[in-house]
Chain A
Amino acid sequence: DVKVTQSSRYLVKRTGEKVFLECVQDMDHENMFWYRQDPGLGLRLIYFSYDVKMKEKGDIPEGYSVSREKKERFSLILESASTNQTSMYLCASSSYGAGQGVIDTQYFGPGTRLTVL
């Protein structure tokens, strides 16, 4: 079974703090993703990575950065946390599909519920 783990289930931080969210997958997947999920807005892609040291902006990258130094680990960094970054953060990973580099199923971690006060 694919396993994606996230460093914390619940996190409370203060405005202005630097926040690190860690994600580790054990299936040697090339692709990793960070999303946030908010009521009424669904899942929104923050950043993704197709390989070590590679990163691509998603739909809402402002206020976030990422790091992928090892294939199995993808970190999301909130440089200076703000109250509007209170959300559920979900990490996911996937391999490539069987044909023509089409993306395969994404597997999600359990999520980190971040509250910024």
Chain B
Amino acid sequence: RKEVEQDPGPFNVPEGATVAFNCTYSNSASQSFFWYRQDCRKEPKLLMSVYSSGNEDGRFTAQLNRASQYISLLIRDSKLSDSATYLCVVNRDSGNTPLVFGKGTRLSVIA
């Protein structure tokens, strides 16, 4: 099983749509969870951390299910500017261990 798995997409959605990305991770000892966004030919940038209780930042909602080792990202009311690749990121073990990046899910929001 790969350490972090994501649907590669692409997801092509109209403006205003709600879109959900899913991610699974293999190590139940992982403690840090993030969603990063990467625009074409740019570096990855933190979108949001993911907390056990779930968290929301404007139109973005992240959920974590430790029992299923599953992370999700929901984007409501999609904007053209949301078009990017979304990377699911998990630390590879407990404690201060490096992050593992999923290969990303590409989103295109269409006018």
The chain A residues found within 8 Å of chain B, CB to CB, are 31, 33, 40-43, 45, 48, 50, 58, 90, 96-97, 100-111
B107 CB → nearest A CB, Å: 16
B81 CB–A CB distance under 8 Å: no
Q: In the complex, A108 Cα to B32 Cα: how many Å?
A: 17
- On whether A43 and B44 interact (CB within 8 A), knowing A102-B31, A102-B32, the answer reads yes
Interface positions of B from 82 to 111, Cβ below 8 Å from A: 87, 91, 95-99, 101-104
- Which of chain B's residues have a CB closer than 8 A to the CB of A104? 32
Q: In the complex, A50 Cα to B32 Cα: how many Å?
A: 17
- Which of chain B's residues have a CB closer than 8 A to the CB of A100? 95
Known: A103-B96, A103-B97. 7 other contacts (CB 8 A): A42-B87, A102-B32, A102-B91, A103-B91, A103-B98, A105-B49, A107-B46
Q: In the complex, A97 Cα to B97 Cα: how many Å?
A: 11
- Which of chain A's residues have a CB closer than 8 A to the CB of B97? 103
Q: In the complex, A33 Cα to B92 Cα: how many Å?
A: 14
User: Are B45 and A108 touching (Cβ within 8 A)?
Assistant: yes
User: Are A96 and B103 touching (Cβ within 8 A)?
Assistant: no
